[in-house]
Structure formats: structure tokens, C-alpha cells
């Protein structure tokens, strides 16, 4: 999972897949507000579930990948706009 270390309010941050996996479940939709630690998506690989957590508080602005899609390591899964 990646993020911009110096993300101030208004910056956009991509939460990325840590491994190659199937995007099994999106737990948010555009406009949802999330806090640090919120599980925004769940990946599946070799029958294991891998949660993707928000590392900053913000609002979901984009979901660049649909459920059921195979994502590569580093692919953005959820994009947040950072809040104060």
C-alpha cells in the first residue's frame, strides 16, 4: 500500500495493492469518508484475504479497479482526497 508521505489536506493519495491478487471486495464507494485504519478493500490470493487499509483520513474520490479484477503489485485500488 502506498501513500504520499507529505500528503496535506486536499492532496490525493492512492492506496495500492501490496501483491498480485484478485480484487475480491470493495468496502467503500465514491464520497465515503474513511479514517486511518479503515479497511477499504479486500484482495484475495491463494485463498488468503489481504485487507487494504487507509493510512490517512479522507474522502474516496475514485475506484480505478472493479471487483473481480486481477491487480498487480502497486496498482491503485482506491484513491482518497486527504482531509484535515
What's the mean per-residue pLDDT of the chain?
Answer: 92
The answer to the question of residue 5 being in a domain is: no
10-27 pLDDT per residue, tens: 899 999 999 999 999 999
Residue from 52, 56, 57, 58 nearest 73 by CA: 52
User: Which residue segment(s) compose the domain that 38 sits in?
Assistant: 12-82
pLDDT band per the 50, 70, 90 thresholds, residue 7 = low
Instruction: Look at residue 5 and tell me whether its pLDDT is greater than 50.
Output: no
Query: Any idea what the CATH number is for the domain that residue 32 is in?
Result: 2.40.50.100
Specify the residue for cell string 474520490: 61
Q: Is residue 48, in this structure, part of any structural domain at all?
A: yes
Which of the pair, 53 or 8, is modelled with greater confidence?
Answer: 53
Which run of H or of E encompasses 31? none
Is 66 a domain residue?
yes
Please list, in sequence order, all residues whose beta carbon lies within 8 angstroms of the beta carbon of residue 6, skipping any fewer than 6 positions away.
Answer: none
Q: Is residue 51 part of a domain?
A: yes
**Average pLDDT of the residues in 39-55:** 97
Q: What predicted TM-score, i.e. pTM, was given to this entire model?
A: 0.87
Q: Please check the confidence at residue 6 and state whether its pLDDT lies above 70.
A: no
Amino acid at each position: 500500500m502506498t501513500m504520499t508521505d507529505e500528503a496535506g489536506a486536499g492532496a490525493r493519495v492512492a492506496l495500492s495493492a501490496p501483491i498480485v491478487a484478485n480484487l475480491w471486495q470493495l468496502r467503500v464507494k465514491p464520497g465515503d469518508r474513511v479514517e486511518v485504519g479503515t479497511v477499504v478493500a479486500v484482495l484475495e490470493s491463494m485463498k488468503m484475504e489481504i485487507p487494504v487499509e487507509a493510512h490517512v483520513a479522507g474522502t474516496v474520490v475514485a475506484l480505478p479497479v472493479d471487483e473481480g479484477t486481477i491487480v498487480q503489485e502497486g496498482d491503485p485500488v482506491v484513491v482518497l482526497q486527504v482531509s484535515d
